[in-house]
Amino acid sequence: MKLTITRVFWLMGFCLFSLIVWTGRPALAENEKTKILIGAHLPLSGAGSLVGAEQKWAYDRAVEDINKEGGIYVKEYDRKLPVRLVAIDDESDPIKAAEAVEQLITQIKVDLMLSGQVGAMGVIPGMITAEKYKTYYHGTVIWIPDFLKHNFQWCTMYFITIESIAAAPYKIWNSLPEDQRPKRLALFVEDSTDGKQIGELLVGLAEKYGYEIVLQEFMEMEAKDYSSQIFEAKSMGVDAIILFANVPESVILVRQMKKRGFSVKFFQGLKGTWATDFYKALGKDADYIFCDGFWSEDYPFPKAKELGKRYYKEFGKHSVGAGMYYAVCQILWQAIEKAGTLDSAKVRQAVLDNEFNTVMGKVDYDEKGIALFPTACFQWWKGKQRIIYPFEYSKFKVKISPPWDRR
């Protein structure tokens, strides 16, 4: 009888112990989290592969740098956790971008999402999918109207306004003595939705800043001959051009302008003249040409110069965008620590509630999840994009283009 009672008590004790261990397992397993999984879908092939590769490089450097510090301190786990980036090639395809985000969230089980590339091509479908699964998507490279019309609750955006891009050339010219400013302006914009949108803005802002547009041409994308546009601009005495086109079309236009002996005092490229491929294709003929960008290694912010040197050491060229992508990571890393958790809603709220220090300067989001930075403008000179705008970060004096035979 004693033996039976002993066995009963032993069995009850064993069951109680097992119950405690079993019910404690989820908390124990959760506390055993060993890394922070960050997902990203990037155009590593297809039309967006040039910027996709640069974005991936910046993400990788940001992960590498935070892990050198031991990772991100997460209060919920009371320790630093290293970051692991899982990037999927979305092939510059919006459908594959959505599929990649779904795979990252539902199969790979990432904690949070970093931005893809270029609005409708990747960012919008990525954000829509992240909303579906209530996973925070830390975004960039998207226009404000496109972001707002979806009323995203699990996403944020960090970018410039299209208005700031269109206004920058006029602001640069107005910083010059009046006798050096252009008088007769031509707009060459690609025949696309974006081209028409920025064309309308450029026309509207020209009057505001005191410039006369004498010619506006819509350029066929992937065209090989712009002789008619050049002839018309030359015959009308155009002394400045604002171009919105891709790299190949921009190169062709400059080459054909030189061949026909047509030069202008100011040639401002938007979108197609920032890339090192543009300068490589034209060599010294690219000097004096203006380009837009997102960031400069000459910005007076911690790590900016160092990041630029690392990029140049690896690729032998300078970047006007890597800092923006690196800053997106810096913001997310800081937000995770401030939130003290990997919970998507709480990390997003930490982004909204705090100010962040980055290689782009201080970043502050509004209640809608939007943070903006000023567009940057550069002038090509001896193989490098020399920053000229914002003015407070520039030490380079704008150069007026001489005729082709005097260069």
Give the residue with greater pLDDT, 59 vs 10.
Answer: 59
Q: What is the pTM of this model?
A: 0.89
Rounded Cα distance, 115 and 138, in Å = 6
Instruction: Based on the fold, state whether residues 189 and 78 are members of the same structural domain.
Output: no
Q: What is the pLDDT of residue 129?
A: 98
- Indicate the residue type of 160: I
The domain in which residue 57 lies consists of 36-160+300-372
Contact 254, 285 (CB under 8 A): yes
- State the average pLDDT over residues 343-351: 98
Instruction: Based on the fold, state whether residues 75 and 141 are members of the same structural domain.
Output: yes
Instruction: Based on the fold, state whether residues 273 and 201 are members of the same structural domain.
Output: yes
How much of the chain exceeds pLDDT 90, in percent? 86
> What length does the chain have?
407
Domain CATH code at residue 358: 3.40.50.2300
Instruction: Based on the fold, state whether residues 94 and 205 are members of the same structural domain.
Output: no
- State the average pLDDT over residues 60-76: 98
Kindly state whether residue 25 falls inside one of the protein's structural domains. Answer: no
Instruction: Based on the fold, state whether residues 273 and 389 are members of the same structural domain.
Output: yes
Instruction: Based on the fold, state whether residues 364 and 380 are members of the same structural domain.
Output: no
Contact 183, 239 (CB under 8 A): yes
**pLDDT for 256-278, tens place per residue?**
999 999 999 999 999 899 999 99
Instruction: Based on the fold, state whether residues 389 and 276 are members of the same structural domain.
Output: yes
Structure tokens at 89: 């090639």
Instruction: Based on the fold, state whether residues 325 and 397 are members of the same structural domain.
Output: no
Q: Is the pLDDT of residue 152 over 60?
A: yes
Instruction: Based on the fold, state whether residues 345 and 400 are members of the same structural domain.
Output: no
**pLDDT for 20-52, tens place per residue?**
444 444 443 456 899 999 999 999 999 889 899
Q: Is the pLDDT of residue 234 over 60?
A: yes
If pLDDT is split at 50, 70 and 90, which confidence band does 4 have? Answer: low
Q: Are strands 376-381 and 384-389 parallel, antiparallel or unpaired?
A: antiparallel
Kindly state whether residue 22 falls inside one of the protein's structural domains. Answer: no
Kindly state whether residue 242 falls inside one of the protein's structural domains. Answer: yes
Rounded Cα distance, 143 and 148, in Å = 9
Burial (Cβ within 10 Å: 0-12, 13-18, ≥19) of residue 391: exposed
Kindly state whether residue 358 falls inside one of the protein's structural domains. Answer: yes
Q: What is the pLDDT of residue 7?
A: 53
Other C-beta atoms closer than 10 Å to the C-beta of 132 total 14
Provide the mean pLDDT of the chain: 92
Q: Is the pLDDT of residue 405 over 90?
A: yes
Instruction: Based on the fold, state whether residues 89 and 49 are members of the same structural domain.
Output: yes
Q: List the end-to-end C-alpha distance of the chain, in Å, as a whole number.
A: 110
Instruction: Based on the fold, state whether residues 184 and 236 are members of the same structural domain.
Output: yes
Cβ neighbours of residue 104 under 8 Å, at least 6 residues apart?
Answer: 39, 40, 41, 86, 88, 110, 113
Give the residue with greater pLDDT, 11 vs 382.
Answer: 382
Kindly state whether residue 27 falls inside one of the protein's structural domains. Answer: no
Instruction: Based on the fold, state whether residues 393 and 255 are members of the same structural domain.
Output: yes
Q: What is the pLDDT of residue 170?
A: 98
Kindly state whether residue 3 falls inside one of the protein's structural domains. Answer: no
Kindly state whether residue 182 falls inside one of the protein's structural domains. Answer: yes
Q: Is the pLDDT of residue 11 over 70?
A: no
Rounded Cα distance, 81 and 37, in Å = 10
Kindly state whether residue 47 falls inside one of the protein's structural domains. Answer: yes
Cα 332 vs. chain centroid, distance in angstroms?
Answer: 14
Give the count of domains, the chain: 2
Contact 40, 88 (CB under 8 A): yes
Nearest C-alpha neighbor of 59 from the set 314, 332, 363, 329: 329
